[in-house]
Chain A
Amino acid sequence: MNKLENIIYKIKDTFHLEAKQKNENQLRVDVDKNLVSSVLLYLKTQLGFMHLNHISCVDWIEDNQFELIYIVWNPESKITVLVHTRIDRANPVMENIDAIWDQANTYEREIREMFGIEFPGLVGAKEFILEDWQEMPPMRKDFDTAAYAEKTYQKRPGRENARDVREELMKRTGEELPDFAKKYSRD
């Protein structure tokens, strides 16, 4: 049994979870949100995954879910484990794991600001990058970046001579686009 198989076996033995091999030094395990801290603590204390590499987040807007990915690393075996979990997008609350790793605080604050996921007991939750942010968290898929940019920033002088490609071509060819077709033109 190699190192990866050993980890897969132990995770299965302890939590009844199927970890999947992603490549020669990466594992992925999908975990229920209530079990995340237990799995992480087990990985850290029992299997030597001392380092929290990153916490990442994906907005699965069609599924009405957020996905959180905890990436932990074992410096001895050079193996990475990705712990995936999905939480409800309508009520985005996730357990705070800064008791396991202090530095989780930074990632959690970032995720709170960019995706609007709350971590109860988060230290300095409101202090991060965005100042006086009034909008929806900007990394959510339904945040309209273009509309925000349009509203917030002025156009730099010198941009008036912008041209539209479709109109330019129509000028050249004499094509007359009927009104009923316009709704399918590129914005």
Chain B
Amino acid sequence: MSILNLKGILTPLTALKQMGKQPHTINFPYEEKEISKRYRGFHYNDLEACIGCANCATICMNEAIDMVALSEIEGQPGDSGLRPQIDYGRCCYCALCVDVCPSGSLNMTQDFIKVSNDPYDFLMVPGKDNPDAKEKLSFTADLDTSLNVFDRVPMRELDPEERVKSFAEVFLGYNEEEARIEASRCISCGLCTENCPVHMHIPEYINAIANADDEAAIKIIYDNNDLPEMCGKVCTRRCEDVCALQVRGEAVAIRWLKGYATSRAENAEVIKEIVNPEIREPNQYKVGIIGAGPGGLTAAYYLSLRGYNVTVYEAHKDPGGMIMYGIPKYRLPYDSIQKQVDYMKKVGVKIHFNTVVGKDISFDEIYNNSDAVFMAVGLQDAWNLGIEGDDAEGVWSAIKFLGKINAGETVDIGKKVVVVGGGDVSIDCSRVSRRLGADVFQSYRRRIQDMPADLEEIEGAEAEGVHFMPQTIPTRVIKDENGKVKGLEYVKAEMISEGGGRPRPKPIEGSETVIECDAVIAAIGQKADYSLLPEHILAKLEMQKNKIVVDENRQTSIPKLFAGGDAVTVGRNDAISAIADGFIATKAIDKMLMGK
């Protein structure tokens, strides 16, 4: 090595070029490096927000996710009660489960270090086994990035100006393309089935529609609902309240999809061909059914399929009960009900119309000639307003008013009408009155948001020009010299919250106002009329607040007598609850008679 070789002396000096630069040293105390914001480490599941729909477990390509029951989570409507458990030996951290989580409860975290000798430790319930990870969320799926489709296909409807001119159907129904798209949004979790009183097979028929198999959809629908076309138009659709997609978006339009599927069978003949129900051999038992409303028709249909000799007694000239005489035709056309009842007749249901039980035929005769009786008579009497002057000419009850209109009679309500009430029936009255050309004002004791009516109906009424008068309490009907309605006096109310319940309206003193009108329609609820029942039955029949007490099988305190529909103590006052009553009673009657 020559001393002239300067390389060994100069090379170390090249280090000088690093002068003034940030040193690459580890700081003391140790500072952890920041982990990327969208890093995909272990999952974190917000156990409260999770609804247990199992969409994560379904999408997982590695079958890493199971749904398990946790002791601290109780199932309830809208929540299966199960929670995901993840096998981290299989998880590949692709985060597809996060992308499809409808509630947004499942997220990835920045946590990715876990050391353990026990292989069981890698089977984790996110959220339960790593509660601290909540602070380190990384990859999440917000509404923009989620793979769920949160917006429903809008339903086409008539213009409000067109609507008030006639009783033409307001909603036009989905066409084929719209139905397929809407049905494809469904994640098939089945949470909806729990909230449906009948527990219809909702995910299955929606899936059939999505797969362009409308006939299968119809067959599945008719398995436990004999009036699905009606439900497809006017159901109170509690199923949609618990849809997994409504947690962060719009529920699947279950009602409209059912309406679409059933509309594909254009007449009773086609329905029978498609449904092709299994009809059992006739047996020796007779069942009498009082009332051809949704409850009575359902029991009649399913008992007929099970081989019973079923006879229905109906006081009116047309079938359907409240769905025929209570629901306006712009929501449910006459032909639609007829089509469904025609189909039932084809499978052997016998209906005696214009037969008033207690007058044309005695209850005892039906009771003694039948092995079981199902009674679904509904609420045929209205509550009066209970204020001074409510006997004036021009004061209507909703049930009488709608009944006359639906029976095709002409009704004179004048130019200006006040409807009293806040339920679906009151909205029906308002919208019918608009169609009769009247100026309509609707008085309700509470606020608009407190109305029990369907929001869609309230909006429809508003668009058609119904004037809402929330927080008003009618106090007196003003009559003219001939005893006709001249006006309605009301007081304004303020909402006060007492205790925990919903706010109560309290009249404001001195706020009396008079609104001039030609008619007042009271839609404030109905009560049952039991005049058809003889004394000895009434003496034995257990009642509670004007309603018949039934057990979970819809059996009354008289073993042979079953009851359902609006006039019993279980379920809500809607058509689908009546259908459920009929269906449940069918099973109970079948069990009682066949088990003998």
On A, residues with C-beta under 8 Å from B are: 145-146, 149-150, 153, 155-159, 161-166, 168-170, 172-175, 177-178, 180-182, 184-187
Contact = CB atoms under 8 A, between A and B. Distances in A.
A147 to B, nearest CB: 10
Contacts of B211: 184
Q: Which of A161, A169, A170, A174 has the most CB of B within 10 A?
A: A169
A177 B204 CA distance: 9
B58 interface: yes
The 5 A-B pairs of least Cβ separation, nearest first, read: A162-B66, A175-B199, A145-B61, A186-B188, A184-B207
Contacts of A186: 58, 187-190, 203, 207
Contact of A184 (B87, B189, B208): B208
B171 to A, nearest CB: 26
Nearest to B278: A178
Contacts of B54: 164-165
B75 A172 contact: yes
B67 A164 contact: yes
Contact of B120 (A145, A157, A164, A185): A157
16 contacts: A156-B89, A156-B122, A156-B123, A158-B123, A159-B123, A161-B68, A163-B66, A163-B67, A164-B67, A165-B80, A172-B194, A175-B201, A178-B223, A184-B216, A186-B58, A186-B189
B87 A185 contact: no
A141 to B, nearest CB: 12
A165 B89 contact: no
B220 interface: yes
Interface string B201-242: 101110110010100100110011000000000000000000
Contacts of B68: 161-163
Given A158-B123, A180-B220, A169 B61 contact: no
B101 interface: no
Nearest to A182: B204
Could you say which of B53, B87, B201, B205 has the most chain A C-beta atoms within 10 Å of its C-beta? B201
Contacts of B224: 175
B369 interface: no
A181 B208 CA distance: 9
A180 to B, nearest CB: 6
Given A149-B62, A158-B123, 8 more contacts: A146-B63, A149-B61, A163-B67, A165-B67, A169-B190, A178-B223, A184-B205, A186-B203
B570 to A, nearest CB: 14
Contacts of A178: 201, 220, 223
Interface residues of B, number: 44
B58 A187 contact: yes
Contacts of B187: 186
Nearest to B552: A174
B500 interface: no
B443 interface: no
Nearest to A187: B58
Contacts of A163: 66-69, 82
A181 B61 contact: no
B191 interface: yes
Contacts of B122: 156
Contacts of B208: 184
Contacts of A162: 66-68, 85
Contacts of B262: none
Contacts of B123: 156, 158-159
The SS class assigned to the A binding surface is: loop
Contact of A181 (B66, B89, B223): B223
Interface string B411-429: 0000000000000000000
A97 B80 CA distance: 54
A175 B197 CA distance: 10
B193 interface: yes
B203 A166 contact: yes
A181 B204 CA distance: 6
B104 interface: no
Nearest to B206: A184
Interface in B65-101: 66-69, 75, 80-82, 85, 87, 89-90
Contacts of B564: none
Given A149-B61, A166-B190, A169-B193, A159 B87 contact: yes
B194 A165 contact: no
B326 interface: no
B386 interface: no
A184 B67 contact: no
Contacts of B89: 153, 156
B119 interface: yes
A181 B221 CA distance: 9
B296 to A, nearest CB: 22
Nearest to A150: B63
A153 B58 contact: no
A185 to B, nearest CB: 6
Given A178-B223, A186-B188, A186-B203, A168 B75 contact: yes
B52 interface: yes
Nearest to B199: A175
Given A157-B120, A186-B203, A169 B69 contact: no
A172 B75 CA distance: 9
Given A163-B82, A168-B75, A173-B193, A181 B58 contact: no
B87 to A, nearest CB: 5
B207 A174 contact: no
Contacts of A187: 58
Contacts of A156: 87, 89-90, 119-120, 122-123
A39 B82 CA distance: 56
Contacts of B213: 184
A168 B223 contact: no
Contacts of A166: 189-190, 203
Contacts of A169: 80, 190-191, 193-194
A141 B92 CA distance: 18
B223 A149 contact: no
A181 B220 contact: yes
A89 B69 CA distance: 45
Nearest to B195: A173
B204 A158 contact: no
A70 to B, nearest CB: 25
Nearest to A186: B188
